[in-house]
């Protein structure tokens, strides 16, 4: 009977490990690197108990609690407590993402692509693949927990206790295993790999939000989220191992439920009725612009949320500017020589954040334009170009989409920073923080124009990224390396007036706009003149 269900679990497990022989070690190494870097950074940033108390004072606010979870042990905010508060939830969410990606690959993706059918035709048990996947995940997360624990112990910081270190690792590992089990269930429900991932990410997001709302406003609510249980272990402060056992126990139950679901369904089928789509296209979808936006909808939403969180994270630490600038020499150098104090210093900091956030927000805009070359690479352009749609309109609809992306991502980043900034800092006006980011829009459009030009040419696409990298280096290292001013002025971001410190300069923005228009005209021209590749 067992043979019937579980035959050949081990060979399949080994086979899966072999497929992931690069992927999994890279993930684990990254988690180790991030954890070790941050903990040593905290140690050097806040050497004295006073520094840490000051930090503790500034992090107890709703914005931080919603993002990172409640702060435990603030009355004795040592490096251990800081690590657990600032890093545990974030890292755990990324571990969950890793888990969702890997488990989807080995379950539904294999089934969708027909690999599972091939395996099932061999004398293997009906549940062998799923059991192997969960077994592999268990081993992987056991190793991750152990390594994180050992690494934390090895750096020898008194407040990072041995027990706490291993609990920290276990908290990460158990979250990974929990979402492995969740993904295993979703793989039984959905018919496609995309669907499996979508459902699993939705569960992750829901648990994160439940915890965020619970932690901020109504604590019992957090008990409805495994992320809440995991944080209840209060690593380095109280070390509640039982919470980890609870998460693990529920994960095992979920895993067993996945096996039950797997046993009662046909291979290739999903338990949720596959949502049949619309047989007709809406009026909106039938237009090239509507179509282009629709194809990028998910990533536009994701980037907007991401940039909002990015902005909000920086906005919520504005209140800490003094500490950062005082403690990190590089930061002072980046800001330049005439450092102010108080709100003046904060405004200087805001100017720098404005550039950096704008540069980050430019990434989705370039990606948005580059989608058109991806269409060409995937051989989908030929059929579109064979219709009565002109090349100008085709490229034009991608440029317009990228402009919409620019408004959305810059808007959400600016809104996030202004909102979190004004919530934590009384002297800051909403418009000051908002405008500091939004003023960079014309600079980001230069990048859209360049991206369009290279799509038009069909080559040199890497140059846009190089140029963006250059702009970043000018901001990041320009102050330290004392770049000459002409080198700075090659970056469009440097031409934008740094609000609120500098005066508004409409003519500079207008020149950028003109360059953008020129780039677009050129790109439309070259795009309609070249051979399409596919």
Partner 1 sequence: MSVLETQGITKRFGEVEALKGVDLNVGKGEVLGFIGPNGAGKSTTIRVLLGIIKANSGEAKIFGQDVWKDAVELHKRMAYVPGDVNLWPNLTGGQVIDYFISLRGAQVNKERKLELVERFQLDPTKKCGTYSKGNRQKVALIAAFAAEADLYILDEPTSGLDPLMERVFQQCVIEAKERGSSVLLSSHILSEVEKLCDHVAIIRDGAVIESGSLTELRHLTRTHLYIETKASVDLSDELGVFEWKQEKDGYSFQVDSDSLSSVMKKVSEHGLLKVESAPPTLEDLFMRHYETGGDNS
* Contact residues: partner 1, CB under 8 A: 191-192, 194, 274, 276-281, 285-288, 291, 295, 378-380, 382-390, 529, 531-532
Asked if 458 and 369 touch (Cβ cutoff 8 Å), the reply is no
CB of 459 to partner 1, least distance (A): 14
CA dist 161 and 82 (Å) reads: 13
CB of 434 to partner 1, least distance (A): 34
How buried is 174 (Cβ within 10 angstroms: 0-12 exposed, 13-18 middle, 19+ buried)?
A: buried
Nearer to partner 1, 150 or 295 (CB): 295
Longest dimension (CA), the chain: 80
Nearer to partner 1, 301 or 389 (CB): 389
Output the six-digit token pair for 266.
Answer: 């046909």
CA dist 240 and 334 (Å) reads: 42
CA dist 304 and 310 (Å) reads: 10
CB of 179 to partner 1, least distance (A): 24
CB of 108 to partner 1, least distance (A): 13
Output the six-digit token pair for 432.
Answer: 């000051």
Nearer to partner 1, 288 or 421 (CB): 288
Torsion angle defined by CA atoms of residues 265, 266, 268 and 271, in that order, rounded to the nearest 10 degrees: -30
CB of 384 to partner 1, least distance (A): 6
Nearer to partner 1, 186 or 237 (CB): 186
Taking the mean position of all CA atoms in its chain, how far away is CA 256?
A: 30
Nearer to partner 1, 21 or 280 (CB): 280
CB of 452 to partner 1, least distance (A): 20
Nearer to partner 1, 426 or 531 (CB): 531
Nearer to partner 1, 121 or 383 (CB): 383
Output the six-digit token pair for 150.
Answer: 């050992």
Radius of gyration of the chain (CA): 26
CA dist 315 and 353 (Å) reads: 9
CB of 201 to partner 1, least distance (A): 15
CA dist 519 and 514 (Å) reads: 9
Taking the mean position of all CA atoms in its chain, how far away is CA 365?
A: 16
CA dist 363 and 300 (Å) reads: 12
Q: Provide the sign of the torsion angle of the four alpha carbons 76, 79, 81, 87, taken in this order.
A: positive
Nearer to partner 1, 62 or 458 (CB): 458
Spatial neighbors of 97 by CB under 8 A, at least 6 apart, are 201, 204
Nearer to partner 1, 4 or 280 (CB): 280
Ordered alpha helix ranges (H), 217-240: 226-232
Nearer to partner 1, 329 or 382 (CB): 382
Nearer to partner 1, 110 or 176 (CB): 110
CB of 270 to partner 1, least distance (A): 11
Nearer to partner 1, 22 or 386 (CB): 386
Q: How far is CA 452 from CA 146, 292, 366, 405, in A?
A: 48, 15, 8, 14
For 261-363, strand residue ranges (E) read none
How buried is 262 (Cβ within 10 angstroms: 0-12 exposed, 13-18 middle, 19+ buried)?
A: buried
CB of 385 to partner 1, least distance (A): 5
CB of 303 to partner 1, least distance (A): 17
CA dist 440 and 442 (Å) reads: 6
CB of 278 to partner 1, least distance (A): 6
CA dist 372 and 459 (Å) reads: 13
């Amino acid at each position: 009977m067992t043979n019937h269900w579980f035959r050949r679990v081990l060979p399949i497990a080994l086979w899966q490990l072999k497929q992931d022989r690069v992927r999994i070690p890279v993930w684990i190494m990254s988690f180790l690197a991030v954890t070790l870097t941050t903990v040593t950074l905290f140690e050097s940033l806040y050497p004295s108990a006073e520094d840490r108390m000051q930090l503790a004072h500034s992090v107890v606010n709703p914005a931080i609690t919603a993002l990172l979870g409640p702060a435990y042990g603030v009355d004795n905010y040592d490096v251990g407590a800081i690590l657990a508060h600032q890093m545990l939830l974030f890292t755990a969410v990324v571990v969950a993402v890793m888990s969702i990606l890997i488990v989807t690959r080995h379950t539904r993706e294999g089934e969708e692509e027909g690999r599972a059918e091939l395996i099932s035709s061999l004398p293997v048990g009906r549940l062998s693949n799923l059991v192997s996947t969960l077994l592999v995940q268990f081993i992987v997360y056991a190793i991750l927990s152990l390594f994180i624990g050992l690494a934390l112990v090895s750096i020898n910081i008194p407040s990072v206790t041995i027990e706490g270190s291993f609990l920290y690792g276990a908290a990460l590992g158990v979250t990974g295993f929990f979402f492995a089990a969740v993904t295993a269930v979703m793989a039984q429900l959905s018919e496609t790999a995309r669907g499996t991932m979508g459902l699993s990410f939705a569960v992750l997001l829901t648990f994160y939000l439940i915890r965020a709302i619970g932690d901020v406003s109504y604590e019992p609510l957090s008990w409805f989220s495994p992320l809440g249980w995991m944080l209840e272990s209060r690593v380095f402060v109280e070390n509640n191992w039982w919470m980890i056992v609870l998460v693990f126990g529920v994960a095992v139950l979920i895993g067993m439920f996945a096996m039950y679901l797997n046993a009662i369904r046909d291979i290739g089928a999903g338990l949720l009725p596959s949502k049949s789509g619309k047989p007709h296209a809406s009026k909106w979808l039938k237009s090239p612009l509507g179509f282009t936006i629709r194809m990028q909808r998910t990533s536009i939403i994701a980037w907007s949320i991401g940039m909002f969180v990015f902005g909000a994270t920086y906005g919520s630490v504005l209140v800490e500017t003094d500490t950062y600038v005082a403690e990190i020499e590089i930061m002072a150098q980046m800001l330049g020589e005439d450092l102010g104090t108080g709100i003046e210093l904060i405004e200087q900091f805001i100017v720098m954040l404005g550039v950096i956030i704008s540069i980050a927000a430019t990434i989705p805009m370039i990606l948005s334009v580059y989608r058109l070359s991806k269409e060409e690479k995937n051989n989908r352009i030929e059929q579109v170009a064979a219709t009565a749609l002109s090349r100008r309109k085709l490229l034009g609809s991608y440029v317009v989409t990228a402009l919409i992306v620019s408004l959305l991502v810059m808007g959400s980043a600016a809104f996030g920073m202004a909102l979190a900034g004004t919530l934590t800092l009384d002297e800051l006006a909403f418009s000051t923080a908002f405008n500091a980011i939004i003023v960079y829009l014309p600079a980001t459009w230069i990048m859209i124009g360049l991206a369009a030009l290279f799509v038009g040419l069909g080559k040199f696409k890497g140059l846009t990224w190089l140029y963006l990298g250059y702009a970043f280096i000018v901001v990041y290292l320009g102050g330290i390396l004392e770049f000459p001013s002409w080198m700075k002025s090659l970056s469009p971001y440097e031409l934008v007036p740094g609000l609120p410190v500098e005066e508004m300069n409409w003519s500079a923005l207008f020149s950028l706009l003109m360059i953008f228009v020129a780039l677009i005209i050129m790109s439309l021209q070259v795009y309609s003149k070249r051979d399409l590749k596919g």
